Chains A and B, each alone.
Chain A
Amino acid sequence: MTNKDTTVVVGMSGGVDSSVTAKLLLEEGYNVVGIFMKNWDDTDEFGVCTATNDYEDVRLVAEEIGIPYYSVNFEKEYHDRVFQYFLDEYKKGRTPNPDVMCNKEIKFKAFLDHAMKLGADYVATGHYARVIHDDDGVTMLRGVDNNKDQTYFLNQLTTEQLSKVLFPLGHLEKPEVRELAHKYDLATKDKKDSTGICFIGERDFKEFLSNYLPANPGRMINMDTGVDKGKHDGLMYYTIGQRQGLGIGGDGGPYFVAGKNLETNELYVVQGDNHEALISTSLLASDVNFINPAADTFECTAKFRYRQKDVPVTVKVTGDDQIEVSYESASAVTPGQAVVLYDGDKVIGGATIDKVFRNGEALEYLA
């Protein structure tokens, strides 16, 4: 099949990355169709639907490069499969990763299906990751831009999903993408990168969350001394290892969040960097996804959160949908976040962190 006969549906967000993605595929001769996803309904303070401007940018770029463009609404799917999970995880005192879920359930499921129904051979997005299709099947590699690599968020994609995916930006560094946008003079060439979780945008996270979950203030307790350090605004607002926004200190070194007790509604804090309470040596994780078949026990490297340096680990498959990951030492490994496994640049797979241990003893992250 030549590129000309290959239809690629590009998920266009109105940002610079997906704009360049569409243009690059077009340059390679593919039959390119752009589709904008509307996953969240929101209006700004002037009553304008926030998706309007992004869609307008999709239109501009699509007209500029000469591809058909459409829009699809996944508000219901997003609400049911991503937002509900997001709230449920916070209710459990965990720190969810809606981007991982959005990729798994929306971008590479609902959207992928929609594109396939429209006759697409592949779906492409502007993610910084590489995917290789060859006789051995599918391999996902980190994006060459170490700083932008997004494989952490793509860890739940199955072989089947990846077999229909192209990531044309994976071999580029972000500045090169900007340069290409300028070279092709795309309407989005100077558009600011979006930050934060898509449905929260620039808004205050605490305020946003309080619209959906009742805040339940409680006491902050120094884990070492048992001293009451004042009031916390609600356990859901804090994540393990968090330093900012506690409103305490001044008595020798900063404080860090080290645990939550959902029963007593207490937030445990500790003083000082690298406090023992934050250090773990192993974890248990579920929602296990191996992109390529893996042995029962193997050594590799892992990330416990986005943009963290890789840590050497040993992985043991301990159940139907459970792995144990052990390592020398890591700080603030947080339940609800993903653990993503790498073999060099290759992504082995990933899972969701459930429990964290220090030398076999469960940490009091969640009591």
Chain B
Amino acid sequence: MSIYVDYAATTPIDEEILKSMLNSADKFGNPSSIHRIGKEAKAFYEASRKNIAKRLNAHPDEIVFTGSATEANNMVIRGTADYYERPHIITTAVEHASVKETYQDFEDTCDVTYLSVDKDGRIDIDELKDALTEETKLVSIIMVNNETGTVQPMADIKEVLKDSGALLHIDAVQAFKQLPVDTETLNCDFLTLSGHKLHAPKGIGVLYVRRNTHLKRLITGGSQERERRAGTENTLYAYAMMKAVEKADENREENTKVLRSLKETLLKELEQQEVPFEVNGDVTTQTNHIVNLYFPWTTSEYLLTALDMAGIYASGGSACNAGTVQPSHVIEAMYNEDRARSSIRFSFGEQLTEDDMKYIAEKLKTIYTKLGKNGFI
């Protein structure tokens, strides 16, 4: 038995996407070359950009291809923080590491405000209002949390920032597959996406930058991406990214249904099996592809190992280089460190079945029962 329930970490490459990549491999030219081979590649590459722009309700010149969403988030934060003189920046306590740790680098040269979250993982709009000053240049918000699926109140955030001078940076990596992502509706200035969360290969990300926005560039050495990111264009991966964005956008409603039923089945089965657990956050408003569960009777480190031995692949917190689990800063921000140490994340893809969910619940029951019988609970 082998059940992968870690789709928020990464997804398998879609077969159709992989095939279409291979079929396009003849467009090998360097898009910056002025000969015909280069121009063919350029046309192929720009078509990907154009389609992604359309899906995001943006202009093609607002789309920058990057090596990853981590890189894109770095570009936004470093490129903005370095552009202004000691700017004030607002972010949240529950960002992805690519935002959180990048801000840690600027704590000496910028004024960084970290917004707290409630037990549902959501920011308090009044706290944002209070934090906002004339010096605020950038607000970074994760639209859908990668550990809990919590959705931030984007419409309210937009309203608060409307008349301010602050730029809005949205990490939409986990959001895109679950919710409509429209750069005009969101009224954002930066938005980031990742290919491998959408069944494209690893190594491709997208950065949306609103027209006429200042951004100091990070990678120099060529005029690619309108001087926003140097380096020979990754034409094939950009193509895969485009395909992945299209597919996710087109199948969103259908996928959501499948994912919701998976989540509901897992929770229902766990209750039936009488495995003690609590959902972290508000399950009714979280996206359907993630559910983060607190198991008060054990630790995430133990449970992840036991589940792995049973062929169930989930996650929780972040792994250090020595393979041990660091408790999730997101669950810690919502609750406390102890709860974070006993919580794990299941994240779903539409390839999973309800039987898989039943199997997971049964295995958790077996683990729970054995621990109790052997006096470990």
CB 8 Å contact bits of A33-53 with B (1 = contact, 0 = none): 101101000000000110110
Q: Which among A33, A55, A116, A118 is the interface contact of B322 at CB below 8 angstroms? A: A55
Cβ-defined contact, A72 with B321, below 8 A: no
Cβ-defined contact, A36 with B309, below 8 A: no
- Chain A residue nearest in CB terms to B376: A117
Cβ-defined contact, A68 with B302, below 8 A: no
Bound-state CA distance A57–B371 (Å) is 31
Bound-state CA distance A347–B371 (Å) is 33
Cβ-defined contact, A38 with B305, below 8 A: no
User: With A113-B376, A116-B374, A117-B376 in contact, is A52–B309 under 8 Å at CB?
Assistant: no
User: With A73-B325, A116-B374, A119-B370 in contact, is A49–B305 under 8 Å at CB?
Assistant: no
Bound-state CA distance A59–B308 (Å) is 16
Q: Which of A38, A59, A71, A114 has the most CB of B within 10 A?
A: A71
| Minimum C-beta distance from B104 to chain A (A) | 14
Check if B320 is an interface residue, CB within 8 A of chain A. Answer: yes
What is the predominant secondary structure among interface residues of chain A facing chain B? mixed
Check if A173 is an interface residue, CB within 8 A of chain B. Answer: no
Check if B306 is an interface residue, CB within 8 A of chain A. Answer: yes
Q: Which among B308, B309, B324, B371 is the interface contact of A72 at CB below 8 angstroms? A: B324
Cβ-defined contact, B370 with A71, below 8 A: no
For residue A55, which residues in chain B have a CB less than 8 angstroms away from its CB? Answer: 321-323
Check if A70 is an interface residue, CB within 8 A of chain B. Answer: yes
Bound-state CA distance A51–B371 (Å) is 29
For residue A69, which residues in chain B have a CB less than 8 angstroms away from its CB? Answer: 323
Cβ-defined contact, A118 with B376, below 8 A: no
Bound-state CA distance A54–B321 (Å) is 10
For residue A71, which residues in chain B have a CB less than 8 angstroms away from its CB? Answer: 322-324
Cβ-defined contact, B309 with A68, below 8 A: yes
Cβ-defined contact, B321 with A119, below 8 A: no
User: With A116-B374, A117-B374, A119-B370 in contact, is A70–B322 under 8 Å at CB?
Assistant: no
User: With A116-B374, A117-B371 in contact, is A51–B322 under 8 Å at CB?
Assistant: yes
For residue B309, which residues in chain A have a CB less than 8 angstroms away from its CB? Answer: 33, 68, 118-119
CB 8 Å contact bits of B289-323 with A (1 = contact, 0 = none): 00000000000011001101100000000001111
Beta-carbon contacts under 8 Å, A51-88 to B: 51-52, 54-55, 59, 68-73
Bound-state CA distance A116–B376 (Å) is 9
Q: Which of B309, B321, B371, B376 has the most CB of A within 10 A?
A: B321
| Minimum C-beta distance from B319 to chain A (A) | 8
For residue B302, which residues in chain A have a CB less than 8 angstroms away from its CB? Answer: 72, 114, 117-118
Cβ-defined contact, A49 with B321, below 8 A: yes
Bound-state CA distance A70–B376 (Å) is 20
Q: Which among B301, B306, B322 is the interface contact of A36 at CB below 8 angstroms? A: B322
| Minimum C-beta distance from A109 to chain B (A) | 13
CB 8 Å contact bits of A11-52 with B (1 = contact, 0 = none): 000000000000000000000010110100000000011011
* B binding-site residues for A, Cβ under 8 Å: 301-302, 305-306, 308-309, 320-325, 370-371, 374, 376
